[in-house]
Structure 1
Amino acid sequence: MKFKKHLSLLLVLLLLMSAFAGCSSSEPAGEEPSGETPAPAPEKQFVTIVTGSTGGTYYPVGTILATLWSEKLGDQGVVAAAQSSGGSIENLNMLKSDEAQLGIAVASLGYFAMTGEENFADNKFEDVRLVTGLWPELSQIVVTEASGINSISDVAGHSINVGGAGSGTEYGTLKILEILGGLTPDQYRAEHLGYSEASSAMQNGQLDAMNAEAGIPTSSVSEIFASKTAVKMLSFTDEEYAKLKAEAPQYGQFTVPGGLYPGLDEDVVTVGIKSALFTNASADEELIYNLTKTMYEYHEEIVGSHQALESVTLENAVVGLPPVPLHPGAVRYYQEKGIEIPAEMMP
């Protein structure tokens, strides 16, 4: 009898344990265990793209690109963000020190960084690599009517915002003032403000002129033309362009169309240099390949976000750029798409 009693108790315990195990199972009721292990989440890849002043073109376009990359490559772990900065020279230095993975800069400055010329004479960056060309950076020299400035040489004795310290705008403005105006820095008062700050200073009567070297339209230039302050944009003659190009061959001739800004009724002939997206040679090849591919495969989704992006096309990706090597990840994508790459730009 005792044996039967013990057996009965054992069976009850086994039934209870079986029921408990069934209730605690992670499989839904009525379904067989899948036997599959969930795929591990992809490792995060943080991508910082350094840009420029918030009132220029670099920052808003950098934000557009970062948003696109995070959205389209998020399932691969890519988390991209744009960071405002002092501009081209600072961006290239941040790429050199691995403080950022991508940076927008005036294309010619990337070449000077690689060769150790101009602003990089003591700070050579041989590992700089191109990802793609972007849009032309147009020099937009805006002056107040009250200043009486009608030409580059007239800037003498006046205040002018030459761009943030270490920016491509500063480099370009000083070149223009020197070559076309015959001016040295002691002949004018140079300010180093962001574009938006310069626009406000002009409206407050604290600044006579500013140069916004950026893709058009530029928000800070729109702001000053829409204000109550009477302003105009200086135009370059063919002779001035020829003189500038003779000493700085990286410049091209461009037009700011009349009507682009409030009160700008006629076309303004100006000069500009193509900008580009740079990285470090040490950047992961697969990452750069995916970033480049996504930028162009989804170009139609972002082109309406900023007018400067209309110039950024796959056909022009390696056109009009200095002989800086492309990153292997970018090369792989361009070769897949049949883009002819100049021999001097091969890594």
Structure 2
Amino acid sequence: MKILRTLGVIAAGMMALSVANAAQAETRVTLKSAKAASSYYQMAAQFAEAMKTGTDGDIIVTVEESQGSVQNVMEAMVRSGNYVFTSPPGLVSLAQNGKGPFDGRPTEKFAEVRALFPIPSLTMHFVMRADSGATSFADLEGKTILLGKGSFGAREGEKYLQLFGLEGKVDLADAELSNAVAALKNGQIDGFVTAGSWPAPNVIEAAAGTDVIVLSLSEDQLAETKRDKTVIPAGTYNGQEEDITTASLSVVAFATTQMDADTAYALTKTFWEQKAKMGESSSWWNGVSPEMLANITGKMHPGALRYYDEVGFSIRDDQR
């Protein structure tokens, strides 16, 4: 009996050691994303699941809700370890230079931020009823457009109207963007402006029941916006027979130098390897391509660079 008890103690000890080793092998990552109701929070949840699947549970990502990119970047000052967040690269640049909402903040903390990989961009859509006759921005004069209020798309849409000489020449509907599709179908507005990953759900909904045209920007207009170029392929939306050239705001997953290179490498590698599978359930992932790495300003994480060099993705010297 004494031998059995001894064997039982040894077995229990070995089991405890096995559990401890498994826990030690598991890497936990916190991903600060967006508001829970947003598409970007949904993307974060999809990424977390893809990371668990792609690493056989070796990396577990916990998604945290955020009130926006400024909060995400701000927390990079105080968060330790494997903190990942999403933000436009330009906002990180402002933080590293102590400008805008980061004026007076210690820039040395933000200097530790490093890029991992791009995620779907905030892409501008100017959606017009086909029977409005508007096929270019010049045709928007005299039309009723819904911009929405307070969102990036609303601010950006207003900026473009000013840039293209349409300020005061367009009738702006006083309504929330959530009412845009219904208002378009009812003929209350001629068009609406929205920004988000493509294909955009509200544009899909609008195109499904109404003949619509999504306006393209010329190269000169695109240059005026000072945004990145995005081409939405023909056939993305119902009735869309040609590619749409539009402006977008890149969004990137960032970490800090506190994350070790092996973890950053695993995150980056698994993202690109799981991207096609994620795209099968949510097509916005299909718009992410290696070419989008060119839109990243600032430095890449050494672990991400290791992966990009392995697969031959083009990385500029200033990103290294």
Report the TM-score when normalising by structure 2.
0.72
Indicate the residue corresponding to 1:233 in structure 2: 213
Indicate the residue corresponding to 1:220 in structure 2: 202
Preserved CA contact (<8 Å) 1:55 1:220 = no
Indicate the residue corresponding to 2:269 in structure 1: 293
Please point out which of 108, 117, 133 is paired with 1:132.
Answer: 117
Preserved CA contact (<8 Å) 1:202 1:208 = yes
Query: How far is the alpha carbon of 1:132 from its aligned partner?
Result: 1.4
Please point out which of 65, 68, 73 is paired with 2:50.
Answer: 68
CA–CA separation in structure 2 for the residues paired with 1:121 and 1:92: 9
Q: Does residue 308 of the first structure (1) align with residue 288 of the second (2)? A: no
Q: Max radius of gyration: which structure?
A: 1
Which has the higher mean CA deviation after the structures are superposed, 43-52 or 214-223?
A: 43-52
Q: Does residue 251 of the first structure (1) align with residue 251 of the second (2)? A: no
Q: CA RMSD in A?
A: 4.3
CA–CA separation in structure 2 for the residues paired with 1:93 and 1:170: 24
Indicate the residue corresponding to 1:27 in structure 2: 8
Q: Does residue 242 of the first structure (1) align with residue 224 of the second (2)? A: no
Indicate the residue corresponding to 1:48 in structure 2: 31
Please point out which of 168, 172, 179 is paired with 1:188.
Answer: 172
Query: How far is the alpha carbon of 1:67 from its aligned partner?
Result: 0.8
Tell me the alpha carbon deviations over residues 21-78 of structure 1, each in whole angstroms, 9 at most, x when there is no partner: 56766639xxx9697452312366242241468564x344333211112334464362
CA–CA separation in structure 1 for the residues paired with 2:149 and 2:257: 30
Structure 1's 23 and 129: CA in aligned 2 closer, same or farther, altered over 3 A?
A: closer
Q: Does residue 344 of the first structure (1) align with residue 309 of the second (2)? A: no
Preserved CA contact (<8 Å) 1:132 1:276 = no
Structure 1's 301 and 322: CA in aligned 2 closer, same or farther, altered over 3 A?
A: closer
Residue segments in structure 1 that go unaligned for 5+ positions in a row? 1-18
Preserved CA contact (<8 Å) 1:141 1:210 = yes
Preserved CA contact (<8 Å) 1:251 1:272 = yes
Query: How far is the alpha carbon of 1:222 from its aligned partner?
Result: 0.9
Query: How far is the alpha carbon of 1:140 from its aligned partner?
Result: 1.3
Indicate the residue corresponding to 1:8 in structure 2: none
Query: How far is the alpha carbon of 1:200 from its aligned partner?
Result: 5.2
Preserved CA contact (<8 Å) 1:48 1:102 = yes
Query: How far is the alpha carbon of 1:252 from its aligned partner?
Result: 2.0
Indicate the residue corresponding to 1:6 in structure 2: none
Tell me the alpha carbon deviations over residues 251-286 of structure 1, each in whole angstroms, 9 at most, x when there is no partner: 3262451x4323x24325331236232324254124
Which has the higher mean CA deviation after the structures are superposed, 325-334 or 87-96?
A: 87-96
Indicate the residue corresponding to 1:178 in structure 2: 162
Structure 1's 297 and 207: CA in aligned 2 closer, same or farther, altered over 3 A?
A: same
Preserved CA contact (<8 Å) 1:215 1:308 = yes
Tell me the alpha carbon deviations over residues 121-159 of structure 1, each in whole angstroms, 9 at most, x when there is no partner: 748774343211344543211235687866546377845
Query: How far is the alpha carbon of 1:293 from its aligned partner?
Result: 2.0
CA–CA separation in structure 1 for the residues paired with 2:274 and 2:214: 37
CA–CA separation in structure 2 for the residues paired with 1:146 and 1:86: 38
Preserved CA contact (<8 Å) 2:157 2:193 = yes
Preserved CA contact (<8 Å) 1:233 1:268 = no
Q: Does residue 261 of the first structure (1) align with residue 209 of the second (2)? A: no
CA–CA separation in structure 2 for the residues paired with 1:192 and 1:96: 35
Report the TM-score when normalising by structure 1.
0.67
Indicate the residue corresponding to 1:330 in structure 2: 304
